[in-house]
Structure 1
Amino acid sequence: MTDDDAIPPRRMARWPWAWACAVWAAAWLLMLGLDKHIGLAQAAITLVLASALAAIWLPTLASLATTTLAVAAFDWFLVPPKHAFAVELTEDMLLLAEILVLSWVVTGLLARGRVLASRARRSARHADQMRRLGDALRDTEDPLRRGEALRASLQDLLGGPPRLLLLRNETPAPADDDASTTLGDPSADDLVGLWHCVRLCRQFGPGTGHEQELPALYLPLRGTEDEAFGAAMIAVNPAEPVDDEVLVQAQALCDQMGQLLHRARTQREAESAQARAQGQAVRNALLAAISHDYRTPLAAIMGAASSLRDQGGKLAPEQRQRLAQSIVTETRQLSRLTDNTLQLVRLDAPGVQLHLDWESPDELAGVAIDRARKHHDPERRIKVWAEPGLPLVRCDAVLFSQMLENLIDNAMKYSDPPAPVELTVRRHGQHIVFAVRDNGPGIEPQWREKIFDVFQRGDWRSGSSNSAAQRGAGVGLAVCRSIALAHGGELRLRQPAQGGSSFECWLPEQDSPGVEDRESTLDGGRP
């Protein structure tokens, strides 16, 4: 950049020239009018002052030329002998040389000051532009709005409307339009150049040193030194290359967008890797838990079956009955573990479809109680109470019954006989609440937020002597929570003041159909 390039266009306007002419006219009137009253030294100071003031408005070359002419005129009109370029005294020759050099130095310093001031203003504008673009990029997560913010900044800097190519994920195959987004309606030729810029990760066009004959400037959106996440194209005049500072600023704006896209991709990859690691950890823990918990019932079944096979004739009827009952009990434990595991996997899968129908809360509770009484100690008391006049609930009867049975099984494990287990169904506001309460020792405070997580079991209650409490893969309550969430409800834990624990499924109440509507639904809508 030269000194004149730093001068804004307004310096060349009519009025700045007029101000410079006015300064010189006033200076000459003063020097000629006071020629007989002041010496050459005072007149010389007036000339230097006029040269410095005129240099404020005049371009550098014009100021130097004007100062040189003014010194020559000073010699002609004021230095003896007057009206001649000859000089009588040596000190007058030295004075003229000093005036000329001093005026040139002042002019040069003012020109340098204008250059520095212009660069400072430009740097401030560029810094402000970078800040405003950064704010605009942070204020939105929409890639299209971010691209529009970059287009606005480039247009403000270069004048022409930019066209952008933004990659969505990793660098795709050449010209893979499905993996990119364009802004500004680039033509087919423009897209070829944009993809070329992305592949090379290098700027080209007028002023870049590469393919300068092109009628457009191509800038990569660099996220790293050798990888671009898009490209920008701005039409320019090849005969007028872009200024180096402007080109650096334009590339900095593009790199700011590229670094943001790179950070977004890195974050997505980190989240994906974390999700895969967590999924692998869950699978490993599930396999380990299932393998461990299958071992005990299988060993019991194997031992009982081997005894019946090898020593069945020697055993008393009571012994054979006890071994057969052991096989039935352990098989039921395996079945429950398998059902819970399969339901947990199924409910966590995306797009799961439930078989919903209108069911009676009384019937759901009754089915769960009947199954619990058959599968557990018949001497244990299981109480059930349902509020009269409850509306129908829309649910998957199989899943919902499994949830209630899991809650009852959990309550019986963690409370010792003959303490009863209670199942109540009531209406609370706009919810139907299914609550299973035990009279066990309760749950330690530090475990009350963890009990619904997978593989949490056994040690979150204290004081229970029931050995069955230590069995299971720790997925029962996790399955119950997943079933409640799948029905739009919520599974809560409440600690009654009387002791024990109450697990409550809060199911939103819905407008149930009338009898005719329900029959029509059950018949598939056929008349």
Structure 2
Amino acid sequence: MEHAAPTLRHAALRWIPALAVWAGAWAALLALDGRVDLANLAMLPVLASALAALWLPALPSLLLTLLAVVGFNWAFVPPRHTFTVDLRQDALLLAVMLVVSLLVAVLVARQRRLAESARHHAAQAELLRRFGEALRDADAPAPQAELLRQALAQQLGTAPLLMVLRDALPPQDDPAAVLLLGEPSADELGGLWHCLRQARAFGPGTGRHSELRQWYLPLRGRQAAFGAAVVRLDALPQADEALRLQAQALCDQAGLSLQRGHAQRAAEAAREQAQAQGVRNALLAAISHDYRTPLATVMGAASSLRDQGERLGPEQRRRLAQTILDEATQLSRLTDNTLQLARLDAPGVQLQLDWESAEEIVGTVLRRVRARDPARRVRAWLAPGLPLLRCDALLLAQLLENLVDNALKYSDAPAPVEVTAQRRGGSLVFAVRDRGPGIAPAWREKVFEVFQRGEPRPASAGGGRARRGAGVGLAVCRAIARAHGGELRLRPRASGGTSFECELPLAPPPPVEEPATPLAAGTAPGSTTPEDAENQGAAPGGVASDGPEPQAGAAAPAGAPR
């Protein structure tokens, strides 16, 4: 009933202009009666019939034309006010008038139907086009199903019930495997599952289960259905074959979109699986390669101590023990980096965040690398008044330690390695700088990829062992920086060497005030005493960088590296 009222109003509005045309034609006939001959008067009903057919259906238009000819005979053909025709030419005039009027009415009504059909098909094509564009922007079953339901409601005048697969079709009917829009009855739910599995429509007009009062329409892809829709015919203003085919076209378009989404997700899962397999293979290859040499060195030194320990002098035994310690440390660092990289690449990783001091993190790193830096090449410079940083202190210390070890490995003594920290806008920037040979432009991004070791370089001129690495250290460093919402970048230095800069965002400071740290007598706030600088590995007054930087309370000494 809700849809019948607008239809009746629309039909009534179409009669108004048609009746107005006929009224105008009869008014003109009465006004011209006696002034023009009968043949010219007969043209007015023919014209009115053609104009009225623009608004009226064919049958009403023909009936009005027939009544107009009969009325014209009664009112204007002599003898008037009778249906008798005395003259043959008058009879011929009435016959021609009737035939022409009927032909014109039929032709105009037919053209109007064709125009309405063309407009209807254009509206259908526009609906399908807009529906296809909307589906292109939706990449999940839930929004695609909602778009289909809206399009079908616009097409049919009533919202259908939908069932859409979330993923693959389960072997048994499983409510968790589908998404339902609407509340189907138990029979309708069974029909939806049957339609989904058979990938065929059924209901009136489909040739299957015509006794039903619903249309069951599958959401068909190329080889299977990915959902089903049920349309209750009692809720439709009219249910014909054309309407069902239009609804099926929308369902098929949605089914193809759902199939593309399933294929994309399957391809993405396959790519992720292949990538994970590739990473595992590369990891095993790297471990088998990079563990072999340290293990062989450890085994050789240990067997020498066991078999020849009594014949070796104290210095030789110390060197062998140091070799074992160095290689074991290398293995431990390689293992830590590899495990950390795997943990940070896992989805939903949770960091142990807390408010940390940049000075304490840098001091911890300096104490760790001191054992591997007998030449004391590592120097630190920190800007005064640095804010607290909300971070995972263990991960950040691992990042800086990896960068320092990398700088020591790829630069020769006595070139210094500088560790700096300063504030830059709303970020805190840690930098590790060396005076090594630098990195070629082609490798400045590739070195951050896992298992990329950069261009091989020979051993140092001092005759030490050739530098080695598993190619995971820098990848771990960038993963740690990004896990904190920051970024790790490589910047070449103007006078040679490399600067790795880790920029981390600063969070609003904690509400609790930090207790004041007691200062030694005679020490100004923000300054560093020579004793503290020596103990922490920092140059007194700080180490100057390539460009202008805030000073740490005192000028750099005359011999500070540039």
TM over 0.5, shorter chain: yes
**For residues 429 and 123 of structure 1, do their structure 2 counterparts lie closer, same or farther at Cα, with a shift above 3 Å needed?**
closer
Q: Which amino acid counterpart does residue 453 of structure 1 have in structure 2?
A: E
Output the CA distance in 1 between the equivalents of 2:133 and 2:328.
64
- 1:116 deviates by 1.0
Q: Match for residue 328 of structure 2?
A: 331
**For residues 54 and 235 of structure 1, do their structure 2 counterparts lie closer, same or farther at Cα, with a shift above 3 Å needed?**
same
- 1:236 deviates by 1.8
**Residue 164 (structure 2) pairs with residue 166 (structure 1):** yes
1:452 to 444, 448, 452: 448
Q: Match for residue 511 of structure 1?
A: 510
Q: Match for residue 339 of structure 2?
A: 342
Output the CA distance in 2 between the equivalents of 1:470 and 1:105.
99
Q: Match for residue 497 of structure 1?
A: 494
Q: Match for residue 246 of structure 2?
A: 249
1:180 to 178, 181, 187: 178
Output the CA distance in 2 between the equivalents of 1:83 and 1:361.
113
**For residues 33 and 218 of structure 1, do their structure 2 counterparts lie closer, same or farther at Cα, with a shift above 3 Å needed?**
farther
**Residue 368 (structure 2) pairs with residue 366 (structure 1):** no
Q: Is the 8 A contact 1:491 1:506 kept in 2?
A: yes
Q: Match for residue 551 of structure 2?
A: none
| Higher alpha-carbon deviation: 381-390 or 120-129 | 381-390
Q: Is the 8 A contact 1:406 1:476 kept in 2?
A: yes
Output the CA distance in 2 between the equivalents of 1:183 and 1:402.
51
Q: Is the 8 A contact 1:413 1:469 kept in 2?
A: no
Output the CA distance in 2 between the equivalents of 1:239 and 1:402.
68
Q: Is the 8 A contact 1:205 1:216 kept in 2?
A: yes
Q: Match for residue 479 of structure 1?
A: 476
CA deviation profile, 1:313-368 (whole Å, cap 9, x unmatched): 66666555544443333222222211211222222223444455555544433332
**Residue 281 (structure 2) pairs with residue 284 (structure 1):** yes
Residue 284 of structure 2: SS of its match in structure 1?
Answer: helix
| Higher alpha-carbon deviation: 319-328 or 271-280 | 319-328
Output the CA distance in 2 between the equivalents of 1:432 and 1:14.
78
2:268 to 257, 271, 282: 271
Residue 437 of structure 2: SS of its match in structure 1?
Answer: coil
Question: Which runs of 5 or more residues in structure 2 are unaligned?
Answer: 1-9, 518-562
Residue 436 of structure 1: SS of its match in structure 2?
Answer: strand
Coordinate RMSD, CA, aligned: 4.4
Alignment of 1:51-90 (within 5 A): 52=50, 55-56=53-54, 59-61=57-59
Q: Which amino acid counterpart does residue 457 of structure 1 have in structure 2?
A: R
- 1:476 deviates by 1.0
Output the CA distance in 1 between the equivalents of 2:57 and 2:387.
92
Q: Match for residue 121 of structure 1?
A: 119
Output the CA distance in 2 between the equivalents of 1:260 and 1:10.
42
With the length of structure 1 as denominator, give the TM-score of the two structures.
Answer: 0.77
Q: Is the 8 A contact 2:451 2:471 kept in 1?
A: yes
Q: Match for residue 403 of structure 2?
A: 407
Q: Which amino acid counterpart does residue 189 of structure 2 have in structure 1?
A: L
Question: Which runs of 5 or more residues in structure 1 are unaligned?
Answer: 1-7, 519-527
Q: Is the 8 A contact 1:207 1:241 kept in 2?
A: no
What is the total number of aligned residue pairs between the two structures? 503
Alignment of 1:161-240 (within 5 A): 161-172=159-170, 175-222=173-220, 224-237=221-234
- 1:475 deviates by 0.7
| Higher alpha-carbon deviation: 63-72 or 422-431 | 63-72
- 1:312 deviates by 5.2
Q: Which amino acid counterpart does residue 447 of structure 2 have in structure 1?
A: I
Output the CA distance in 1 between the equivalents of 2:22 and 2:111.
18
Q: Is the 8 A contact 1:422 1:437 kept in 2?
A: yes
Q: Is the 8 A contact 2:157 2:236 kept in 1?
A: no
Output the CA distance in 1 between the equivalents of 2:67 and 2:351.
98
With the length of structure 2 as denominator, give the TM-score of the two structures.
Answer: 0.73
Q: Which amino acid counterpart does residue 446 of structure 1 have in structure 2?
A: A
| Higher alpha-carbon deviation: 348-357 or 98-107 | 98-107
| Higher alpha-carbon deviation: 136-145 or 485-494 | 136-145
Q: Which amino acid counterpart does residue 225 of structure 2 have in structure 1?
A: A
- 1:235 deviates by 2.2
**For residues 194 and 517 of structure 1, do their structure 2 counterparts lie closer, same or farther at Cα, with a shift above 3 Å needed?**
farther
Q: Which amino acid counterpart does residue 162 of structure 2 have in structure 1?
A: L
CA deviation profile, 1:154-174 (whole Å, cap 9, x unmatched): 233322332333332233455
Output the CA distance in 1 between the equivalents of 2:38 and 2:397.
117
